[in-house]
A and B are shown apart, each in its own frame.
Chain A
Amino acid sequence: MGSATSPDRYLPDTVRRSVKILVLGGFGVGKTTLIGSVSEIEPLSTEEVMTVAGAGVDDLTGVGRKTRTTVALDFGRITLRGRIVLYLYGAPGQQRFWELWEGLAEGALGILVLVDTRRLEDAFDVLDQVERLPRLPFAVAVNHFPDSRAYPAEELREALDLPPHVPIVDCVAPDRATSLAALTALTDHAMRVLSAREVVP
């Protein structure tokens, strides 16, 4: 948390528009690291109260068993050309957090799914959820850890069952340049999706 007098917590007065990208992935995949590598502020954390489905069977009233729980939401930001602020929200992508990031996804530019090749099963869970929002463009960023094996992109595409148009990019989450490249690839993809949609409504 920054100090109360820190002036750089505020956006330049010229900013007129905000836009956001969701960074989703399993625990420990490097979401906050990636956000921190490109953010102009120290990543912030806020808590959101949400309702999650309980583990038990629905009760007889039909209301179902639900529990209130608190989920941490980490985020950072980049001011672009003094006019737009891009917010990057990191959220756990698993099914039980669907309610949290489904709301976050509204109006988003797209989703960057961060993948650790040592734990591909986490990625399946996240991608299953992402595909429930068909209008939202997404790209896959493979976060390379020192001990992870490099797979050819096409091998990963097959393993993750990704359609040919979904970009797969490599990144090293602590490295600003590769993280920026991943965000650029997603934005570029979002533009293509949008223009394709305008041609064939």
Chain B
Amino acid sequence: MIEGEYRDQPLRPYVLTSGRARPSRNWIGVDTLLIAAPGAGPLPVTASRQEIALLRMCRGLLSVAEAAAHLGLPVSVVKVLASDLMDSGHLQTRSRTRAEPDAALLEEVLSGLRDLA
């Protein structure tokens, strides 16, 4: 089982990310939606356990923060790993923007919340 596996490891985040603190794609945020790219080949044999676990976690659509919570990894680490997996074509995103919400989006959120009331 993948979940919880890393919780007990006292590894520092920079070990998991080969010494990098920031992802190569700086628009990746906690709410960026991730999903495995269809038809991407297998990961190289050099892939880390964390990369393998993240890619497996992303067999369905979920956010960076959700993947981090399920894997027991810090969000900052998942951002770096996700960025690498996008560079290699294994992961895709659905929400590339970190822009402020526009009026159309706010209106849809408002209607959606009212539907639930």
The reply to whether A15 and B113 form a contact with Cβ atoms under 8 Å apart is: no
The reply to whether B108 and A47 form a contact with Cβ atoms under 8 Å apart is: no
The reply to whether B60 and A9 form a contact with Cβ atoms under 8 Å apart is: yes
Chain B 45-77 per-residue mask, 1 if CB under 8 angstroms from chain A, else 0? 000000000000001111101101110011110
Instruction: Give the residues from 97 to 111 in chain B that come closer than 8 angstroms, CB to CB, to chain A.
Output: 97-103, 105-111
CB distance from A1 to the nearest CB of B (A): 6
Tell me how many residues of A have a C-beta within 8 Å of chain B: 52
The reply to whether B110 and A184 form a contact with Cβ atoms under 8 Å apart is: yes
Q: If the complex has contacts A18-B63, A44-B70, A191-B106, are A4 and B3 also in contact, measured as CB distance less than 8 A?
A: yes
15 further contact pairs, Cβ within 8 A, besides A17-B105, A81-B115, A86-B113:
A15-B94, A19-B105, A19-B109, A38-B116, A46-B69, A49-B13, A78-B113, A89-B65, A135-B100, A183-B113, A184-B117, A187-B106, A187-B110, A188-B110, A194-B101
Cβ of B112 < 8 Å from any Cβ of A?
yes
Cβ of B30 < 8 Å from any Cβ of A?
yes
Chain A 2-35 per-residue mask, 1 if CB under 8 angstroms from chain B, else 0? 1010010111110111111000000000000000
Which of chain B's residues have a CB closer than 8 A to the CB of A188? Answer: 110
The reply to whether B99 and A18 form a contact with Cβ atoms under 8 Å apart is: no
Which of chain A's residues have a CB closer than 8 A to the CB of B98? Answer: 106-107
The reply to whether A87 and B60 form a contact with Cβ atoms under 8 Å apart is: no
The reply to whether A83 and B108 form a contact with Cβ atoms under 8 Å apart is: yes
Cβ of B87 < 8 Å from any Cβ of A?
no
CB distance from B112 to the nearest CB of A (A): 3
In-complex Cβ contact of B61 among A11, A49, A73, A87 (8 A): A11
Which of chain A's residues have a CB closer than 8 A to the CB of B103? Answer: 191, 194-195, 198
The reply to whether B117 and A109 form a contact with Cβ atoms under 8 Å apart is: no
The reply to whether B101 and A19 form a contact with Cβ atoms under 8 Å apart is: yes
Band of interface residues on B: 35 or more
In-complex Cβ contact of B3 among A1, A18, A84 (8 A): A1
The reply to whether A80 and B112 form a contact with Cβ atoms under 8 Å apart is: yes
The reply to whether A191 and B110 form a contact with Cβ atoms under 8 Å apart is: yes
CB distance from B10 to the nearest CB of A (A): 12
Cβ of B33 < 8 Å from any Cβ of A?
yes
The reply to whether A48 and B75 form a contact with Cβ atoms under 8 Å apart is: yes
The reply to whether A109 and B106 form a contact with Cβ atoms under 8 Å apart is: yes
10 smallest A-B Cβ distances: which pairs?
A80-B112, A10-B60, A44-B69, A46-B69, A18-B31, A11-B61, A107-B98, A46-B68, A184-B113, A191-B106
Find the A residue at minimum CB distance from B27: A107
Which of chain B's residues have a CB closer than 8 A to the CB of A47? Answer: 74
The reply to whether B108 and A1 form a contact with Cβ atoms under 8 Å apart is: no
Which of chain B's residues have a CB closer than 8 A to the CB of A89? Answer: 30, 65
The reply to whether B105 and A107 form a contact with Cβ atoms under 8 Å apart is: no
Cβ of B1 < 8 Å from any Cβ of A?
yes
In-complex Cβ contact of B29 among A17, A106, A135, A177 (8 A): A106
Cβ of A138 < 8 Å from any Cβ of B?
no
